[in-house]
């Protein structure tokens, strides 16, 4: 099933289903894409009074296009990790640990990409909130909050998929990105108060 080809109601039904995927990673990817879309909207509507608006809109669209397909990849990689866990069964030993470690390491990559994109969206939201049409500032702030939440969710998924490696550089990177997104959202909200 191609998640991006589903109608919104169908996607929401899939998320609410008893199946393991799509789950939090797919939702975080689409929330990030939607947040980038909001920034593109605000920038486009601000083009008359903001010289950089068209370039910012293009940057936001690029972020949206980069992250939206990760919703599908996240679901596929997590399904593959679950299947690997079923395939190795109860066997003990290094071979089992290696196979599971590889599968879950691959499953951690899409959430890390989501955290990276969400941090980028949150940082861009600061610029849009400051420079965009003031009547649309609330949309830029919504984008900041959504991106920060998606980054935090994605960082947690990276950590869960790499539980055997708490000090794994990917876990630390994801947490750093989530913190960066949260700071950017705070800055966006503080910018016009």
Q: Per-residue confidence of the chain (193 residues) as pLDDT tens digits?
A: 799 999 999 999 999 999 999 999 999 999 999 999 999 999 999 999 999 999 999 999 999 999 999 999 999 999 999 998 887 666 666 777 788 888 999 999 999 999 999 999 999 999 999 999 999 999 999 999 999 999 999 999 999 998 756 688 999 999 999 999 999 999 999 985 4
CA distance 45 to 97: 53
The residue with tokens 């959430």 is 111
The rounded Cα 105 to chain-centroid distance in angstroms is 17
CA distance 83 to 50: 51
The full length of the chain comes to 193
Q: Is the peptide bond before 73 cis (omega within 30 degrees of 0)?
A: no
Q: Which domains does the chain possess? A: 22-190 (1.20.120.680)
List the alpha helices (DSSP H) in the chain: 8-16, 24-45, 53-67, 70-88, 94-131, 137-161, 169-190
* Distant-in-sequence contacts of 53-60, Cβ < 8 A, 24+ apart: 53/131, 53/132, 56/124, 56/127, 56/128, 56/131, 59/124, 60/36, 60/121, 60/124, 60/128
């Amino acid at each position: 099933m191609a998640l991006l080809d589903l109608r919104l109601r169908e996607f929401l039904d899939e998320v609410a289903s008893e199946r393991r995927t799509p789950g939090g990673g797919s939702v975080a990817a689409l929330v990030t894409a939607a947040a980038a879309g909001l920034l593109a909207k605000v920038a486009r509507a601000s083009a008359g009074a903001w010289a950089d608006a068209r370039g910012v809109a293009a940057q936001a669209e690029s972020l949206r296009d980069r992250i939206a397909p990760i919703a599908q990849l996240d679901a596929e990689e997590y399904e593959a990790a679950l299947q690997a866990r079923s395939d190795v069964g109860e066997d003990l030993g290094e071979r089992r640990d290696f196979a599971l470690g590889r599968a879950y390491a691959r499953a951690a990559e899409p959430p890390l990409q989501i955290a990276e994109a969400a941090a980028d969206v949150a940082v861009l939201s600061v610029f849009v909130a400051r420079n965009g049409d003031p009547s649309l500032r609330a949309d830029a702030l919504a984008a900041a909050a959504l991106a920060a939440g998606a980054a935090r969710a994605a960082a947690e998924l990276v950590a869960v998929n790499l539980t055997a490696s708490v000090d794994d550089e990917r876990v630390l990177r994801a947490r750093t990105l989530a913190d960066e997104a949260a700071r950017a959202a705070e800055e966006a909200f503080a910018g016009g108060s």
